């Protein structure tokens, strides 16, 4: 196998197409006589539709059809047919299924017209009367209703307790008990969700879908509508950002396909920015964290409890609490994760699902513990460094977290930190230095490849590599015995990527305004195949971590159960002026267990640890400990 490109910076082959606009989004594909669908959304959070009057909209020339629960075509009856490949337990949402309203902004009708502008205008003319019922969207007011959700496929539930955390907490020399709150957050990728269905005369269709899993979308469409797989093709060569929001098929896919089948014409349905706030989100999470330690900083107990929201029809969970049991050496640990059913859409996976949330609480609490003990925050983590994965009691396939700490601290200049809050200043700005740890799974996902077994016991696996100078496709071969041995070895190890994040913030002493001045992120992510694209992944994660810490919050009006700031003017994501100098360090890490190349994913690890590092730096700068995200100037001035 050729390896001359491994470790060398390479530009993406589709990079130029993406930055020049040549790469088409799902809503940019066209075909003659294409129809446009626009969604009519519910204005109540719970109840039912009493009456739909679409007569005024249908009277407009060019309005072709209006789909509702009253006239939709039949779909599969079983819930199982409506479940996509990563659906949580419960009953998946079915657009236009019946008169029931499960959350605000739920699609209740689809107006299909000859032009997008006409469809938008007609959608405003559809009159819907509702019978509203009392709804609940406030997590904080519903904590008594929290319960353990059913297990979600591919997501581990809370690990079993070890030792006696309650007894150890009671006898600890120093203890931290705190509550940490994270609000709703929405993905907001550049490309909004859209599906363009190209309908052919023979009934087959090519679907240009905004998706992170074309196979998942195809399976969903075929199952729901009872279509032959040979008749459906889903295409998604470019994705304008998704970050987890496009893992599951969303309502626009269902609606576009239904309209195309009903009218036997090509149809496009594209979500508006407002509609991008109508489905998956990072859940609102309230965490209670207790740490107990001896006077020398040795962790004696960890108790971590999280309560999050899910919908009334599906049990969504993510791995929030287990990180506290695995990351540091501690003999007494108990964790728990509960969920509250609210009248909202089902939450969804958002970049590094669960880890930025759980580590926000753990790494903030550790900083509080370090302050109480008067121990350097980095030193506290080193004193409790785990040489084995604590939850599973397994060795790591590789772990260079110590090197991450050392290299990031040196590059940042951590040794020059004055530990006293409000002790570092430049003019009217208070300077704060904070740090945190990141960890993420090096996951294994099912894959498939065509292979040829030769008579001498060798397995030839065709691999599309970068083409050689002659233009030929190169191949590599390996033995079945090697594959089997690799699989057996992996089961005995814990495989993770790790990071150390160091942050400097500047806080205006009079106004309380906060800016991140610089970030150093050292990552142990196995073998780095392409340093250029790898660095970009970490940069993107750090920027999102800044947004999580200082800006991003979807505000809900509980009186109506409706998100208020469903736009990019009021949902604050970092822009160029918010992004400081970011130094990314890739720590050399050799791993012969995780896979033959020794690589680990880098898409998630970049965001993890950033928010608590910023919060810890803000405390160092101001002496104010903020336990609710995002951190804004009013929290510092109060």
Element (H, E) at 112: strand 107-113
- 8 A C-beta contact, residue 130 and residue 104: no
Taking a C-beta distance cutoff of 8 angstroms, is the pair 62, 115 a contact?
yes
> What are 166's two structure tokens?
């309650």
The C-alpha atoms of residue 69 and residue 50 are separated, in whole angstroms, by 12
pLDDT at 480: 58
- Helices (H), ranges, 317-451: 322-326, 355-373, 377-383, 401-412
Diameter of the chain measured on Cα atoms: 79
Whether 478 has a pLDDT exceeding 80, the answer reads no
How is residue 535 annotated by DSSP? H
596 pLDDT tier (thresholds 50, 70, 90): confident
Q: What is the mean pLDDT of residues 402-409?
A: 98
Provide the pLDDT for residue 149.
86
Looking at residue 464, its pLDDT comes to 41
For range 66-93, the mean pLDDT: 96
Q: Look-up: residue for tokens 């896919």?
A: 253
The DSSP code for 601 is -
Q: Tell me how crowded residue 428 is: count the other CB atoms within 10 A of its CB.
A: 11
Q: Is the pLDDT score of 455 beyond 60?
A: yes
What length is written for the chain?
Answer: 638
Q: How far apart are CA 97 and CA 217, in angstroms?
A: 19
- Looking at every residue in the chain, the average pLDDT score rounds to 93
pLDDT band at residue 2 using 50, 70 and 90 as cut-offs: low
In terms of DSSP bridges, do strands 267-270 and 285-293 run parallel, antiparallel, or are they unpaired?
A: unpaired
In this prediction, residue 462 has a pLDDT band, given cuts at 50, 70 and 90, of: low
pLDDT tens for 406-440 read 999 999 999 999 999 999 999 999 999 999 999 99
Q: What is the pLDDT of residue 489?
A: 75
Residue of 417, 596, 602, 618 whose CA lies nearest to 516: 618
Residue 222, helix vs strand vs coil: helix
The owner of tokens 């009217």 is 428
> pLDDT tens, 248-283?
999 999 999 999 999 999 999 999 999 999 999 999
Cβ contact 112:67 at 8 Å: yes
Q: What value does the mean pLDDT take over residues 89-109?
A: 97
Output the six-digit token pair for 214.
């074309």
Question: Where does the pLDDT of residue 197 fall: very low under 50, low under 70, confident under 90, or very high at 90 and above?
Answer: very high
In sequence order, the 6+-apart residues with CB closer than 8 A to the CB of 229 are 218, 222
pLDDT at 485: 67
The pLDDT score that the predictor gives to residue 475 is: 47
- The H or E element containing residue 166 is helix 165-171
Q: Average of pLDDT values for 234-250?
A: 95
pLDDT at 154: 74
Closest CA to 363 of 435, 413, 311: 435
- Average pLDDT value for residue range 523-548: 97
- Please answer whether residues 570 and 146 qualify as being in contact, where contact means their C-beta atoms are separated by less than 8 angstroms: no
Q: In whole angstroms, what is the distance from residue 230 CA to residue 221 CA? A: 12
Average pLDDT over residues 98-125: 98
pLDDT confidence bin for 325, thresholds 50/70/90: very high
Higher pLDDT, 486 or 142: 142
Q: Is 416 helix (H, G, I), strand (E, B) or coil?
A: helix
What pLDDT score was predicted for residue 481? 64
Chain centroid, CA 242 distance in Å: 9
> Averaged over 511-517, what is the pLDDT?
97
pLDDT at 459: 73
How many other CB atoms are found less than 10 A from the CB of residue 156? 13
State the average pLDDT over residues 552-581.
97
Helix axes 610-622, 355-373, angle to 10 degrees: 30
pLDDT tens-digit profile of 6-45? 899 999 999 999 989 999 999 999 999 999 999 999 999 9
Instruction: Give the H or E element holding residue 337.
Output: strand 333-341
Q: How confident is the model at residue 467 (pLDDT cuts 50, 70, 90)?
A: very low
Going by pLDDT thresholds of 50, 70 and 90, the confidence category of residue 470 is very low
Pair 432, 423: CB distance under 8 Å: no
Task: Give SS3 for 604.
Answer: coil
Angle, vertex CA 172, rays to CA 168 and CA 173, nearest 5: 170
The pLDDT of residue 472 is 33
Instruction: Write the pLDDT tens digit of every residue in 206-226.
Output: 999 999 999 999 999 999 999
pLDDT (tens digit per residue) in 70-82? 999 999 999 999 9
Q: Which residue ranges form the domains of the chain, and what is each CATH number? A: 29-134+189-272 (3.90.1170.50), 141-186+281-444+495-637 (3.30.365.10), 452-490 (no CATH)
Average pLDDT over residues 334-357: 97
pTM of this structure: 0.93
Q: DSSP string spanning 277-326?
A: GSS--BPPEEEEEEEEE-TT--EEEEEEEEEEEE-SSEE-----SHHHHH
298-307 pLDDT, tens digit per residue, is 999 999 999 9
Cβ atoms of 513 and 460 within 8 Å: the answer is: no
């Amino acid at each position: 196998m050729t390896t001359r490109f491994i470790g060398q910076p390479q530009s993406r082959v589709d990079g130029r197409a993406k930055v020049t606009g040549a790469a088409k989004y799902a809503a940019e594909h066209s075909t003659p006589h294409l129809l446009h669908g626009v969604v009519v959304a519910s204005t109540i959070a719970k109840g039912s539709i009493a009456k739909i009057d679409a007569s005024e909209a249908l009277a407009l020339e060019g309005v072709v059809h209006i789909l509702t629960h009253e006239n939709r075509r039949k779909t599969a009856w079983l819930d199982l047919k409506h479940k996509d490949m990563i659906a949580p337990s419960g009953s998946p949402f079915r657009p236009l299924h019946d008169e029931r309203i499960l959350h605000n902004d739920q699609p209740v009708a689809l107006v299909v017209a000859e032009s997008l502008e006409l469809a938008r205008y007609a959608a405003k003319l559809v009159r819907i009367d509702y019978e509203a019922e009392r709804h609940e969207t406030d997590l904080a007011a519903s904590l008594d209703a929290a319960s353990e959700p059913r297990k979600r496929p591919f997501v581990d539930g809370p690990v079993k307790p070890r030792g006696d955390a309650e007894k150890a907490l009671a006898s600890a020399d120093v203890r931290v008990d705190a509550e940490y709150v994270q609000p709703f957050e929405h993905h907001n990728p550049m490309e909004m969700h859209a599906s363009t269905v190209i309908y052919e005369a023979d009934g087959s269709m090519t679907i240009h879908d905004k998706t992170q899993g074309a196979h998942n979308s195809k399976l969903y469409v075929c199952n729901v509508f009872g279509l032959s797989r040979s008749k459906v093709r889903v295409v998604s060569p470019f994705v304008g950002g998704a970050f987890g929001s496009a893992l599951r098929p969303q309502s626009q896919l269902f609606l576009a396909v239904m309209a195309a089948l009903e009218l036997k014409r090509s149809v496009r349905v594209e979500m508006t920015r407002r509609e991008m706030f109508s489905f998956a989100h990072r859940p609102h999470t309230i965490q209670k964290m207790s740490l107990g330690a001896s006077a020398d900083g040795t962790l004696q107990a960890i108790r971590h409890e999280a309560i999050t929201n899910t919908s009334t029809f599906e049990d969504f969970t993510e791995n929030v609490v287990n990180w506290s049991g695995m990351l540091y050496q501690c003999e007494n640990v108990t964790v728990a994760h509960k969920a509250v059913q609210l009248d909202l859409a089902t939450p969804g996976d958002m970049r590094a699902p669960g880890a930025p949330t759980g580590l926000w609480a753990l790494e903030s609490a550790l900083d509080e513990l370090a302050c109480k003990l008067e121990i350097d925050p980095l030193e506290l983590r080193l004193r409790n460094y785990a040489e084995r994965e604590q939850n599973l009691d397994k060795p790591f396939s590789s772990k260079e977290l110590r090197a991450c700490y050392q290299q990031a601290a040196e590059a940042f200049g951590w040794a020059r930190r004055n530990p006293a809050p409000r002790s570092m200043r430049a003019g009217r700005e208070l300077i704060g230095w904070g740090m945190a740890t990141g960890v993420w799974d090096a996951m294994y996902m099912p894959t498939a490849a065509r292979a040829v077994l030769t008579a001498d016991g060798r397995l030839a696996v065709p691999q599309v590599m970068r083409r050689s100078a002659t233009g030929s496709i190169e191949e590599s071969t390996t033995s079945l015995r090697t594959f089997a041995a690799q699989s057996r070895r992996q089961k005995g190890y814990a495989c993770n990527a790790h990071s150390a994040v160091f942050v400097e913030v500047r806080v205006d002493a009079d106004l309380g305004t906060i800016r991140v001045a610089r970030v150093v992120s050292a990552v142990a992510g196995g073998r780095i195949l392409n340093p250029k694209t790898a660095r970009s992944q970490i940069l993107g994660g750090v920027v999102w971590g800044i947004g999580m810490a200082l800006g991003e919050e979807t505000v809900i009006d509980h009186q109506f159960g409706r998100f208020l700031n469903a736009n990019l003017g009021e949902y604050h994501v970092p822009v160029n002026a918010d992004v400081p100098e970011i130094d990314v360090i890739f720590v050399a890490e050799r791993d012969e267990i995780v896979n033959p190349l020794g690589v680990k994913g880098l898409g998630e690890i970049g965001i993890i640890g950033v928010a608590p590092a910023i919060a810890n730096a803000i405390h160092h700068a101001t002496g104010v400990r903020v336990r609710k995200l995002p951190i804004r100037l009013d929290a510092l001035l109060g």
